[in-house]
Structure 1
Amino acid sequence: MKEFKDTIQKYLQERAAEDPLFAPKFANSKKNVDECCRYILGEARKRGTAVAMSDVEVFGMAVHYYDEENIKIENVPSGRSVSSTSRKVELTEEEKNAAREAAIKRLAEEQYRSLKKKPAKKKADTNVQQMSLF
């Protein structure tokens, strides 16, 4: 976690040195890098248990934390592993198909559950007839 924090802090310091509009936001005494890291981890946690994010996305969240006045910080359980990489990940066709099938299955299950939760609609007027276009 220390390496993650140090990387974020270094990026934000460099950004503040180069960007005169960001510098006062980074100097805000109500904000700090520890809380910024908790914000990023909380946002990642909302996406699931195994999340891959690019460096650009992580740094964007760090800047967003400093840009916004009232950001809600999610608590992140300790012991979480954090890693970030700029390396582009290439999936094989087999992996892509497996991921696609898993996503379709998950979506179908979610839709089925949401349909089961909805209360049955009351029958309105049973004398309604289908109009014909011909």
Structure 2
Amino acid sequence: MKTTDHFRRTIQAYLGKRAASDELFAVSFQKPHKNINDCITYILNTVQKRGCNGFTDDEVFSIAVHYYDEESIEIGKEINCKVLVNHTVELTQEEREQAKVDALKRIENETYAKIKQQSQRATPKKHEPQPQASLFDF
């Protein structure tokens, strides 16, 4: 199965957090015959059956929880697809500083390229010198 790794990590992180705060779900989450790969397969098959391409986080997470809560559940066949995950990226202070440096450098380069392009348009093109006729050439 080739789902997006970020999708798998997002689901796994949610389930782990839920198990840590919900004792009843923690029991379901520890079932030996349940695993994240089958959970992802179940989510993808459920989404496909519903025929909709967009789901809220809560809808997807509830499908994942349902997979772990149900004792016998039809998982379905593996689906080879890409999953888009909308998320907020949390950057460290160092990553933010590097992003600022990179952005300033990119702006500097773009500005320089624009100025150079404008100056090339403003400068008249130099023509090849035309040989001048001489009185002595005749």
Same fold, TM-score > 0.5, yes or no: yes
Gaps of 5+ in 2: 88-138
When normalised by structure 2's length, the TM-score is 0.57
The corresponding residue for 2:83 is: 82
Partner of residue 114, structure 1: none
Q: What is the aligned partner in structure 2 of residue 103 from structure 1? A: none
1:9 maps to which of 4, 8, 12: 12
List, as ranges, runs of 4+ consecutive aligned residues in structure 1 with deviation greater than 4 Å: none
TM norm structure 1:
0.59
Asked if 2 retains the 8 angstrom alpha-carbon contact of 1:9 and 1:33, the reply is: yes
* Larger helix proportion of the pair: 2
Distance change in 2, residues 1:59/1:34 (3 Å): same
- SS of the aligned residue for 2:61 comes to helix
RMSD: 1.8
**TM superposition shift of 1:84:** 3.6
Q: Does the 8 Å contact 1:36/1:62 carry over to 2?
A: yes
CA shift for structure 1 position 77: 2.9
Between the two structures, name the one with larger relative contact order (CA 8 Å, sep ≥ 6): 2
Q: Distance between the aligned counterparts of 1:2 and 1:55, measured in 2?
A: 16
Per-residue deviation, 1:85: 3.6
Q: Which has the larger radius of gyration?
A: 2
1:83 offset after TM fit, Å? 1.9
Distance 2:53 2:48 in 1: 8
Q: 1:22 aligns with which of 16, 22, 25?
A: 25
SS in 1 for 2:24: coil
